[in-house]
Amino acid sequence: MKKFAVKGFITLVAVIAFAILGVTAGHTTAHADSSDDASFSTVLSTAKSKLGKPYAWGATGPSSFDCSGFTSYVYKKATGITIPRTAQAQYNAYKHVKGSAVKKGDLIFFGGSTSSISHVGLYIGKGKMIDAQNRGVITESIYASWWHKVGYAHVTDLSD
């Protein structure tokens, strides 16, 4: 009986710990732990400071990046927000917005469909994004012929 009570207590502690850490069924939840003064200008200057850095699959910076490593790095450094690590997880974590409602600082996603996101970039306005890809961190058109745009997601409200 004592063994059963100990196992039950350990299970209860584990459940509480997972709930506190925001872990559900093996998936971490996206944090919005930023201050209220997050601005697009800070996000943009952080992103621009990495222009020219090389692409490396799985890299999260600061000297090289893959696409989702770049967006994760920029949001964490510029706003304090921890966003999910992969492009698909980033797409799944946030409210989707239409192209007509996209704002500077939103994420833009590319791939085969909403369930096969393969690339993410940071929308900077006027049909442009900053992203990390095989040519490194660059600014380019979101309408480039090699991208199949799947959608946009809004991470947080940013002041101008």
Active site members: 67, 119, 131
CB 70 within 8 A of CB 147: no
Classify residue 119 by burial, with Cβ atoms within 10 Å: 0-12, 13-18, 19+: buried
Classify residue 30 by burial, with Cβ atoms within 10 Å: 0-12, 13-18, 19+: middle
Terminal CA-CA length for the chain: 62
- Please work out, in degrees rounded to the nearest 5, the angle formed at the alpha carbon of residue 112 by the alpha carbons of 154 and 100: 35
CB 109 within 8 A of CB 153: yes
Both tokens of residue 82? 């921890």
Spatial separation of the C-alpha atoms in residues 137 and 67, rounded to whole Å: 8
Both tokens of residue 29? 């939840």
